[in-house]
Amino acid sequence: MKLFSIFLIAFSFNITAFAQLSKTEKKIAQSVDAHQKEALHLLEEVVNINSGSMNFEGVYKVSQIFKAQLDALGFQTRWVDGKPFGRSGHLVAEHKGKANGKTLLLIGHLDTVFELSSPFQKFTFVNDSTITGPGVGDMKGGDVVIIEALRSLKEVGLLSTMNIIVVMTGDEELSGKPLSLARHDLIEAAKAADIAIGFEDGAGDPRTAVISRRSSSNWSLKISGVPAHSSQIFTEKIGAGAIYEAARIINSFYETLSTEPNLTFNPGVILGGNSVNHEKEMDGGTAYGKGNIVAKEVVVTGDIRAMSPEQLKKTQETMLAIVSQHRPMTQAEITFGEGYPPLAPTEGNKLLLSQFNQVSKDLGYGEVVAVHPRKAGAADISFTAEYVEMAIDGLGLRSTGGHTVNEAADPRSISMQAKRAAILFYRLTQQKISTGK
C-alpha cells in the first residue's frame, strides 16, 4: 500500500546543502538521526493509548508520557486540570535559559477525534514509509517532533541557554467551554513568548507550512412570525411568516458576502415550522408544522471563517444589518458565539517562514511555501496571534487521511521535521530578528 509519493532527496542529506550548516547545526542533525528508533517507539506508545477528547483518563495518560520526556530534558512541568472547562486538561512545560533571550512557544495537543467507541485504536507499522493509527498525523506525531527536536538540543548542550514554553492542550479537537478558560493557559504562555510554533500536520506536506489560519466561530439566528391559516399569509395582520424571513436573510447573506476573499459563512442547520425544538448541545432538533400553517418559528445555526479580526468584525456587522430589515410582521435576531480567532498572515509570520525555509534548504530538504488559508482549518496557534511577534504552524508529519480511520503518516518525516525544528529553534534564539514592529 503506497500512500505517499516521495522523492528520495526529501529524506536524505544533499552533501552540498549539508555544507551550509554550521558545525553545531550538523551535530544537532546527527543527534536527531541517532534517536530515530526511540522516536518511533515513543509515537507508537502514545498512539496506542486512546485519547479521544472526551476520554479524560486517556488524555491524562498521554500527557504523563510527554511530561516524563520533558522532565528529563530539564523542563518545569505542570498539569492544568480541565474541570472548569469540562475537559481533561493541558500539559504546560517551561524551560528558562537566557534572561534576555527570545522565548519560543511550542504548541501541540494530546487529544484525537477518535473516542473509545471508534474501531480505529492501534498503531500499525505498514512499511518504512507508512504507519497508521489514531493521531499519527494529527497530532501525536507532531508532539513527538517537539520532543525529538528538544532532545537533540539538550544532547548537543544548547538547550540550557534557551527560553522555551511547551503547551500541549487536551481539547483541541473538541474544545472545552468557555473558551476563555479552556485557552487561558495557552494565552498566558503566548503573552510570555516572542515566537509561536505549532506542530499540527497542516496540509500533511512538509513542503508547506501555515502562516495564516481563518477564524472559526458560530452564529445563531432566531426568527418569529405570526402563525395563522396559510390562506392569510401576506395580509396586513399576518405578514410573511418566519420561513420567508429566514429565506430572505440567508439569501441576503449569500448575495452580499459570498464574494469576499477567504470568507465563508455556512448555515449548517435550519429548523422551521409552527414549533421548533432546538437541541443546542447537539446542534440539531425537531420542528413541527403543516403546509397550510404560516410558520411561527425558525432557528438557523452556522459558522463563520474569516481571515482577520477586521474581516470578522465587518462580516458580523453586515449580517446584523441584514437581519434588522424585517419582512412584514416578523422579528429576527442573530447572536455570535465565541470561537477560534484568525491567524492573519503578518509580516512577522512571513519572516518566520523565510527563516524556516532557509533551514530546510540548508538541510537539503528543499523549499517550504505557505499553505493557502482556505486549506488550513482553525487551530490552537491562532490564540497566540494577538501576543507574539511571529507565528508558524504545520510543522508536523507528512500525513494523509486525518480525522478518518485511514489516517497515516510517514515515519521518516519525524527525523526530517525534528531536524528542521531544532535548527530553527537554535537560529531563532541566537539571532536578533526584527519584525519591523
Segments making up each domain of the chain, as ranges: 8-213+343-430, 216-340
Residue 261: pLDDT band by 50, 70, 90 thresholds? very high
Stretch 15-37: mean pLDDT, rounded? 86
Interval 71-121: pLDDT, tens:
999 999 999 999 999 999 999 999 999 878 899 999 999 999 999 999 999
Inter-residue contact 315 to 263 (CB < 8 Å):
yes
Strands in 297-305's sheet, in edge-to-edge order, are: 264-273, 297-305, 216-224, 331-340
Point out the least confidently predicted range of 246-255, 413-422, 426-435.
426-435
Calculate what percentage of the chain has a pLDDT beyond 90: 89
Inter-residue contact 127 to 208 (CB < 8 Å):
no
Burial of 76 (0-12, 13-18, 19+ CB in 10 A): exposed
- At residue 37, what is the residue type? K
d(CA 91, CA 75): 12
Sign of CA dihedral 274, 275, 280, 286: negative
For 216-340, the fitting CATH number among 3.30.70.360, 3.90.650.10, 3.40.50.2300, 3.40.50.720 is: 3.30.70.360
d(CA 10, CA 417): 11
18 has a pLDDT exceeding 80: no
Q: What per-residue confidence (pLDDT) applies to 375?
A: 80
Q: What per-residue confidence (pLDDT) applies to 19?
A: 59
Interval 269-310: pLDDT, tens:
999 999 999 998 778 999 999 999 999 999 999 999 999 889
- Least Cα distance to 210 among 220, 231, 196 occurs for 196
Phi, psi of 25 (to 5 degrees): -65, -35
Read off the pTM.
0.88
Interval 405-430: pLDDT, tens:
999 999 999 999 999 999 999 999 98
Sign of CA dihedral 66, 68, 70, 73: negative
Sign of CA dihedral 44, 48, 53, 57: negative
d(CA 47, CA 56): 15
Burial of 234 (0-12, 13-18, 19+ CB in 10 A): middle
- At residue 417, what is the residue type? Q
434 has a pLDDT exceeding 90: no
429 by DSSP, 3-state: which? helix
The highest-level CATH class for domain 8-213+343-430 is alpha beta
